[in-house]
């Protein structure tokens, strides 16, 4: 029998490949016969590969199409380059596609293989000279050298066979193959771009030798590929456990009648390898599952969990799991994980730009990179998707084989109306919010407050009757918003698009009937053309009033009562000559007049603003003096007067609350030093404002 003889078997469509070394022909024949009698299709080099054809190419195809490879190591295994080449192919398939490897040590100690001593040491030493002349084979033997160690360390089925034990262990091999093939392989993404790096940490955790019962949560917003990653690591690792179960789409299944019972029945069937048991209640299911999981080391995946009851039905019995068992959870809701003290939480991040363009290109063009003609358009689509695999796949499939005119039109439409398939997937997290309070809070943020300071947003929304702190945390827990290091509320662009689309659907053709307006052309165009705000405009409930970059000459005539107003932003209103009467809005906390170049003075009624904490007058170049009553602002912490080139020397006394003073780019942080001092701003060099056209 040749040293590279191969046996391959298959139960249903996909073979099990068995490359063997120089083992006795009788063992190979017995193994072949046993597999054949068990109903497996058998592949062997002496009756499947026609003479004259490339054994390596045929073998590589057989391995790639198989689910399991059995490697039979003998004393002279390493002396065959063909065997080593086969090993490299098998280990590559194991690493990339969940291929199962079962090593058998025929009359050789596993440590001899793993440590490469005795005959294995002699064989690899003989290749040293060949490495110089035969680069291709040399590289393969080098890879095989490393692969031998991986096989003996990471695979659980290590059978040592002596010549007297062949019959006994052949029966055991057939039984193990039947067990492995009876487990369902999960279908993973067609183009798994970036999945190996994103799953690396979870794979290492699954393959460690710890006997602790531990759980790993894969957490993140919808469409990031949580389920895809869970399927990928499940396929790669389920064979090293005695039992395994992948409970898919728990959120949807649990909504069905007897949904949790259905999931429990599926779990029992997978682990016990028999028909589904009859279960009458969740409590009965828990008892039966306890009996099943306490006797064997299992891998369990709970996919798309969105309710604590779903976790309690499984994790409530974690102490009953057999040592070394592992539990993987995928969810959009971080808050579900905290009560269970999950050992590890893995937040899935968006794809990097390089992987995003690759994934998009595979789905749109069937290759790794876009064609040159479509490169710039592809980059625009990828930018719109923001690293979300779901969006990349959906839009690529839609745009595939379309002309550039269609691409241009589709990109323009996406700015106004998002793709419905993507929106429906993302909307699941919005629908899971428990009440109208959190839903309205989310819509307010999506329409008006992305990128704003959390402090500012809380102030505004609390004044509108919201419970903002708890509401924002609920949105964070569902991956609908994030808080960045600068304490600003951020939202993925497609999540924001989803929120705004919900509002747009309230009245697609009549914007005035929608609950919220955020586009300038729909809501502010009329106001921007006015020279003053009508006195009859109802503003009593306004919390922030943002009229930055307006054409106002004065804000309004007379006095107006705005008791709820906390922020007034008139920055870059370059025609504004005077401030309004402040006596009607004594709760104002921030007054921003930056860049109001025509402003001549600030009303002395500013002294009524007992709660004012920030006054920004930067670059008010025609401002001659500060109001005398500014000293009455007992809560003022920040005063910005830099760039006020015509400001007369001003005495700032009795302002113990002042912490920050910016005068010509110079900040002073000592309130005691500011008191009783006089500051003369230096005249800065003229500069242009790139954000404004004269």
Q: Beta-strand (E) ranges in 144-183?
A: 159-161
Long-range pairs for 626-634: beta carbons < 8 A, 24 or more residues apart: 626/602, 626/650, 627/601, 627/602, 627/603, 628/604, 629/604, 629/605, 630/606, 630/655, 631/655, 632/607, 633/606, 633/607, 633/609, 633/657, 634/610
Those residues whose C-beta lies under 8 Å from the C-beta of residue 229, and which sit 6 or more positions away, are 195, 198, 199, 202, 218, 330, 348
- DSSP 8-state code for residue 309: H
Produce one character per residue of 607-644: b if its CB has 16 or more CB atoms within 10 Å, e if not. Answer: bbbeebbbbbbbbbbebeebbebbbbbeebebbbbbbb
List, as one string, the DSSP characters of 102-126. Answer: EEEEESS-HHHHHHT-HHHHHHHHH
Give the HSE-up count for residue 662: Cα atoms under 13 Å, Cβ half-sphere: 15
- CA nearest neighbour of 568 among 693, 456, 445: 456
How do beta strands 100-106 and 68-73 pair? parallel
**582 C-beta neighbours (distance < 10 Å), count:** 24
Distance from CA of residue 546 to its chain's centroid?
34
Distance between CA atoms of residues 612 and 267, nearest Å: 61
Distance between CA atoms of residues 488 and 276, nearest Å: 50
The answer to whether 288 and 264 are in contact (CB under 8 A) is yes
Helical ranges in 544-602 per DSSP H: none
The answer to whether 187 and 231 are in contact (CB under 8 A) is yes
Tokens, residue 475 = 């949105």
Long-range pairs for 163-172: beta carbons < 8 A, 24 or more residues apart: 163/24, 163/27, 163/107, 166/26, 166/27, 166/30, 167/30, 169/104, 170/27, 170/30, 170/31, 170/34, 171/34
Distance between CA atoms of residues 417 and 509, nearest Å: 12
Distance between CA atoms of residues 675 and 159, nearest Å: 85
Distance between CA atoms of residues 462 and 460, nearest Å: 6
Distance between CA atoms of residues 191 and 396, nearest Å: 12
The answer to whether 270 and 296 are in contact (CB under 8 A) is no
Those residues whose C-beta lies under 8 Å from the C-beta of residue 406, and which sit 6 or more positions away, are 399
CA angle in degrees (0–180, nearest 5) for 93-98-101: 70
86 is catalytic: yes
Distance between CA atoms of residues 33 and 27, nearest Å: 10
- 3-class secondary structure, 301: strand
- CA nearest neighbour of 284 among 327, 325, 313: 313
Tokens, residue 558 = 């007379």
Given 60, 86, 501, 618, the catalytic residue: 86
Orientation of helix 226-237 relative to helix 81-97, angle to 10°: 150
Task: Catalogue the active-site residues.
Answer: 86
């Amino acid at each position: 029998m040749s040293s590279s003889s191969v046996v391959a078997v298959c139960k249903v469509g996909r073979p099990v490949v068995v490359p063997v070394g120089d083992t006795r022909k009788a063992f190979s024949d017995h193994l072949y016969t046993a597999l054949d009698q068990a109903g497996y299709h058998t592949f062997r080099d002496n009756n499947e590969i026609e003479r004259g054809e490339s054994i390596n190419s045929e073998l590589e195809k057989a391995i790639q199409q198989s689910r399991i490879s059995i490697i039979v190591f003998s004393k002279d295994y390493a002396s065959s380059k063909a065997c080593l080449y086969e090993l490299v192919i098998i280990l590559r398939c194991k690493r990339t596609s969940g291929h199962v490897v079962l090593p058998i040590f025929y009359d050789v100690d596993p440590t001899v293989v793993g440590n490469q001593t005795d005959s294995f040491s002699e064989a690899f030493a003989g290749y040293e000279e060949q490495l110089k002349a035969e680069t291709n084979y040399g590289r393969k033997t080098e890879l095989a050298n490393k692969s031998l160690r991986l096989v003996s360390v990471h695979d659980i089925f290590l059978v040592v066979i002596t010549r007297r034990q062949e019959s006994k262990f052949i029966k055991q091999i057939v039984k193990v193959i039947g067990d492995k093939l009876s487990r369902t392989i999960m279908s993973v993404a067609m183009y798994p771009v970036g999945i190996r790096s994103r799953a690396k940490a979870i794979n290492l955790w699954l393959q460690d030798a710890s006997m602790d019962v531990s759980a790993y949560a894969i957490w993140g917003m919808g469409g990031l590929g949580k389920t895809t990653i869970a399927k990928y690591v499940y396929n790669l690792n389920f064979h090293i456990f005695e039992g395994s179960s992948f409970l898919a789409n728990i959120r949807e299944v649990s909504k069905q009648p007897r949904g949790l019972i259905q999931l429990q029945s599926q779990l029992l069937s997978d682990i016990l390898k028999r028909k589904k048991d009859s279960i009458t209640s969740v409590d009965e299911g828990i008892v039966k599952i306890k009996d099943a999981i306490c006797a064997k080391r299992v891998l369990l995946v709970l996919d798309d969990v969105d309710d604590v009851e779903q976790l309690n039905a499984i994790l409530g019995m974690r102490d009953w799991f057999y040592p070394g068992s592992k539990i993987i959870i995928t969810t959009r809701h971080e808050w579900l994980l905290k009560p269970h003290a999950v050992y590890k939480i893995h937040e899935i991040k968006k794809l990097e730009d390089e992987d995003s363009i690759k994934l998009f290109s595979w789905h749109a063009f069937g290759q790794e990179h876009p064609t040159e003609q479509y490169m710039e358009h592809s980059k625009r689509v990828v930018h719109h998707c923001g690293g979300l695999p779901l969006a990349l796949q959906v839009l690529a499939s839609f745009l595939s084989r379309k002309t550039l005119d269609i691409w241009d039109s589709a990109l323009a439409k996406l700015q106004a109306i998002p793709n419905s398939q993507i929106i429906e997937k993302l909307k699941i997290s919005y629908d899971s919010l428990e009440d109208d309070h959190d839903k309205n809070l989310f819509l307010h943020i999506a329409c008006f407050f992305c990128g704003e300071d959390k402090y500012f947003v809380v102030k505004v929304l609390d004044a509108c009757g919201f419970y903002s702190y708890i509401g924002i945390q609920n949105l964070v827990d569902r991956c609908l918003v994030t808080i960045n290091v600068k304490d600003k509320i951020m939202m993925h662009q497609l999540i924001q698009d989803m929120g705004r689309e919900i509002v747009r659907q309230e009245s697609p053709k009549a914007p005035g009937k929608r609950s919220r307006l955020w586009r300038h052309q729909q809501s502010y165009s009329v106001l921007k053309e006015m020279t003053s705000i009508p006195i009859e405009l109802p503003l009593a409930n306004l919390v922030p009033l943002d009229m930055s970059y307006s054409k106002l000459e004065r804000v309004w005539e007379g006095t107006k009562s705005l008791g709820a107003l906390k922020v007034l932003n008139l920055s870059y209103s370059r025609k504004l000559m005077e401030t309004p009467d402040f006596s009607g809005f004594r709760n104002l906390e921030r007054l921003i007049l930056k860049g109001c170049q025509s402003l001549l003075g600030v009303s002395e009624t500013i002294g009524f603003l007992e709660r004012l904490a920030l006054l920004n007058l930067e670059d008010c170049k025609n401002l001659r003096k500060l109001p005398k009553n500014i000293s009455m602002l007992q809560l003022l912490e920040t005063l910005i007067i830099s760039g006020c080139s015509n400001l007369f020397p001003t005495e700032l006394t009795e302002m113990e609350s002042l912490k920050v003073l910016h005068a010509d780019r110079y900040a002073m942080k000592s309130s005691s030093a500011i008191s009783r001092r006089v500051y003369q701003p230096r005249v800065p060099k003229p500069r242009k404002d790139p954000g404004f056209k004269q």
